Structure formats: structure tokens, C-alpha cells
Amino acid sequence: MQPLVPDIPVAVIGAGAMGSGIAQVAAQAGHQVFLLDQREGAAEAGRQSIAKQLQRRVDKGKLEQSALDALLDRIMPVNELSELAGAGLVIEAIVEDLDIKRSLLANLEEVCNASTILATNTSSISVTALGARMKHPERLVGMHFFNPAPLMALVEVIKGLATSDEVAQRVYATAAQWGKKPVTATSTPGFIVNRVARPFYAESLRLLQEQAASSATLDAIVREAGNFRMGPFELTDLIGHDVNYAVTSSVFNAYYQDTRFLPSLVQKDLVEAGRLGRKSGQGFYNYAEGAQKPEPATVAPASSDADTLIVEGTPGPLAALVTRLSENGLRIIERDGPGRLRFGKAVLALTDGRMATERAAAEACNNLILLDLAFDYSRASRLAIATADQASPQAVNDACALLQKAGIAVSQVADRPGLVIMRTVATLTNEAADAALHGVASVSDIDLAMKAGLNYPEGPLRWSDNLGPGLVHKVLTNIQQSYGEDRYRPALLLRKNRFSEKGFYS
């Protein structure tokens, strides 16, 4: 399907940060853009905001003044819906209210040509519901940009029940021509990103509530071991807890209060206290001038008389850690065994979703120290560990000394199922697998959405495949057994993959 050619005008309704950003994207692609906002002077203010932001690029020599002038000439503030009649694509980016959006769409059907595509930038309202009262709902499609629209690559193209394939395909092609990375999804609560991302916040919030570690420590682990751009607490402070909590509650209620999406009491308290994050000056962190962000808990330098790492069996994902230790001069001995590492008194293993204390008892291995997952053990600068209650102080010391030999900062967290990164990745994968099972989007589009929309280091389904068949299913099964909650039930596709010994891409 061919995209809209630049000769075809585009209209954007709503000149706030998102609407102005979308207008900039369309203008940069060569379209004449009509920018409309019901607030007097808002459309011109949106245009001036674009000019101000891009002028900084001109001042830095990254954009020619002539290019900026030409772009601004293509953005035309207008005052009436009737002035949008000649647009080939109209994108609404107004308030998230079903009735208000429905009213606007009804008016647009009267004003615009029959061939005009009508798009909604809604992040939470059903495209099917928005189109239900339209005369021609087949012309309505979701075109969900991410903020800031000029910088964020992802566009979710959302098909309502009545959306025509031709309209969806043309919007997809247009978004791609505009330099975006589009994905196609069906109109289900949260679409792809706002649904699949819930565990990224929820699991760290639960670990905080369970006193596994401080917010600063959990954030540091997520960044420095998981390779995510931001930790969940600094990210929700940036988003705003009122916004993040509202989205979680919306998805929770939309899925008939499925416990997988259960909102956090910790975040609810912040919202009720008015501690909304950066915009209020206080969230998990204090943003007052001169306030110092707390440091993550890091184990003090440890020493050990041990000089040999014994690798028992296949180390699996820990293989890169073994290589890293070898490159740092540690002597390595390999022998048969259950995939564990021995160093001094410490017996180290990758978490499988059980608590270290439980696993130590089951495996008759008192000095068990569990290692968290890392995105890349060869580069991780921090790693979380959990120790069995039965472990001796010397075993804990030896484990910390081992990791520190590789230049890894160690954060010891309370003994909780799945630790931090493994638990986060497993639950993200679970939600992504469930979305794929129900036809929300393809496996590849789900992974692309999470990388392009939220800057994840890897798509959760690809990440699961990289860990090896069955591991995420095993972790989730053990976490579910520990809590006895339906929240951690493994998705059907994960269970199927576990028995076929295949991955999502094989």
C-alpha cells in the first residue's frame, strides 16, 4: 500500500505538546499541515513552540535556517474545522475523553472528503468504541505516537473492529515514510506498549513493598544489570505517578481486574499524598534544589583466599560471566554437575524463580547464593544477589569477592522469588506472550514496540529466546508457586514452547 504523498495535506487537531510534535513530524516529511486547537491562540503557540525548539538546532549548526523557515511555512494554524476539508489525513490529539472524541469525529465526517483518513492518537480509548457511532468507521484508525513525537520512533497503528485493511496499511506506510517504526495492533486495552510494560513498574513496586531493596538500589540494578535506560522509580517520577497509576488502573479494570495488572498500593499512596514525581518536586525521590539522590546499597569490598572457580556442568546464561572472570585472571576448573559455580565456600547459581532459602533446602546446599539475570554479563557493572538463610557469612563474603574480581558492584537484596531482573524480564515476556497469543500483534511487532517505544535493550520475546527454551516458563512457575497467585501464571505460548523446546522465533 502506498503512503500519503507529500502533496497531500495533513491536519492535526490539538496543539499541545503531542499535537505540535505530530505536526512537526508531518511537516518535516514535506506535507502542508493544518494545525487546529479550540483554545484561542493555541495553534499559533504550538507553531512557535516548534520554531523555538528547532531554532536551538539551527544555533548549534545542526539545521539550516532555510530548512527551518520552509518547515514553518508548511505549518498553518487554522481556526475552523471547515478549513480541514482538503486534508487527506486528519489526526486528532485532543483530551482523552470518549464522548468528546466521538463528537469531534462526527463533525469531521461531515466536513472532510469521503476519502479522508481519520486517525486518533488515543493511548487508552478503544478505537472500536470511538468508531461505533461513525457513519463510516472503516476510515478510522489509531495512530498512537509516543512523546516527544519528533524523537520517539514508534507509532502504534491500531485497527478497530471496523477499520479497513486498506486504511491501516496506508497509515502504516505513511508512518514509515515519515521515518517512524510503525507496528500494527488490534484495539485492545493498552494496545501493545501500555499493556506489555505494566510488569516493568509493577514488579519493582512489589519488591519495594516487600522491602527487598530501596528504590535507589532497585533502579541501579535495573539500569546497570538490566541495561534499561532508566529504573522504574525514576521513570515513574518522570512520567508522573498520577498518569502512571491511572494507566495501570485503566488496564486493570479493562481486563476485568485480572491480577496481572494489579495496581500498587505504594504508588496509590504517592498519588494521594500529591507526590507525583518531578512535576510536584517529590516522588520516590526529592527534586528540590540541592536535594541529593540516595545512593544504591552496594556491598563493601570483600576479600577471599579462594583462587579457583569451579564450574559444575553447563553454566547457561552465566557462561559470559565465567568468561569475564577468566579474562580477569581467575583460574577456571570445569567438571560435571548441575550448572552451578563454586568459589571458596560459596555455591552460586542463576535464579530459577525460587527463593534462595527454599532452593537451598530442596537441593541440600546450605551455602547457596543466587545470582540475578543480567542483560550482558560481560559488561554489567552491577549484579543483584540473594543469599539463603542457611548460608554462612564466609560463603556470602566469597560470593561478593568473586563478582568484585570482575569489577562488578554487588547489591545484596532480600531473598525474594526471582530477584529483580529475572523477575522483570520473565513477567514482561509473559505479558508479551499473552498479547501474541490473543492476536494483539505479531511477535516481531511486540518486540519492536518495546524497543522503539520504551528503549528496552531487547524485546522481551527475543530476550526469552536468548535465555534458552523453557527457562522463563520455569521461573514463572516457581514464582507462582511461591506466592500462590494467579498473577504469575505462565502464558499458554510459554508453556507450549517449554514442551516443544522451541522459542518465539524458531
Q: Name which of 47, 107, 49 is nearest 77 in CA terms.
A: 47
State the catalytic residue, choosing from 92, 109, 156, 203.
156
User: Any catalytic annotation for residue 312?
Assistant: no
Which amino acid belongs to residue 87?
Answer: A
Q: Are 222 and 199 in contact (CB under 8 A)?
A: no
3-state SS record for 466-480: HHCCCHHHHHHHHHH
Q: Which residue's entry shows cell 505504594?
A: 266
User: Any catalytic annotation for residue 156?
Assistant: yes
The rounded distance, in Å, linking the Cα atoms of 343 and 451 is 37
The rounded distance, in Å, linking the Cα atoms of 242 and 244 is 6
DSSP annotation string for 305-373: S--EEEEES--GGGHHHHHHHHHTT-EEEEE-SSSEEEETTEEEEE--SS-HHHHHHHTT-TTEEEEPP
3-state SS record for 207-276: HHHCCCCCHHHHHHHHHHCCCCCCCHHHHHHHHCHHHHHHHHHHHHHHCCCCHHHCCCHHHHHHHHCCCC
- At residue 49's C-alpha, the angle toward residues 48 and 55, to 5°, is 85
User: How does DSSP classify residue 487?
Assistant: G
State the catalytic residue, choosing from 123, 215, 304, 430.
123
Q: Are 425 and 456 in contact (CB under 8 A)?
A: no
Query: At a CB cut-off of 8 Å and minimum separation 6, what does 426 contact?
Result: 353, 418, 472, 475, 476, 479
The rounded distance, in Å, linking the Cα atoms of 179 and 434 is 29
User: Any catalytic annotation for residue 144?
Assistant: yes
Q: Name which of 401, 344, 343, 399 is nearest 372 in CA terms.
A: 399
The rounded distance, in Å, linking the Cα atoms of 214 and 37 is 44
State the catalytic residue, choosing from 20, 109, 144, 250.
144
State the catalytic residue, choosing from 20, 126, 187, 194.
194
Helix (H) or strand (E) holding 28: helix 17-28
Instruction: Number of helices (H) and strands (E) in the chain: give both, helices first.
Output: 20, 15
Q: Name which of 117, 76, 119 is nearest 101 in CA terms.
A: 119
Whole-angstrom CA distances from 96 to 39, 78, 100, 296, 357 are 16, 22, 8, 38, 47
Query: At a CB cut-off of 8 Å and minimum separation 6, what does 465 contact?
Result: 503, 504, 505, 506
The three grid cell numbers given for residue 384, joined into one nine-digit string: 543483584
The rounded distance, in Å, linking the Cα atoms of 189 and 247 is 10
Q: Are 385 and 363 in contact (CB under 8 A)?
A: no
Q: Name which of 223, 225, 205 is nearest 215 in CA terms.
A: 205
Q: Which residues are catalytic?
A: 123, 144, 156, 194
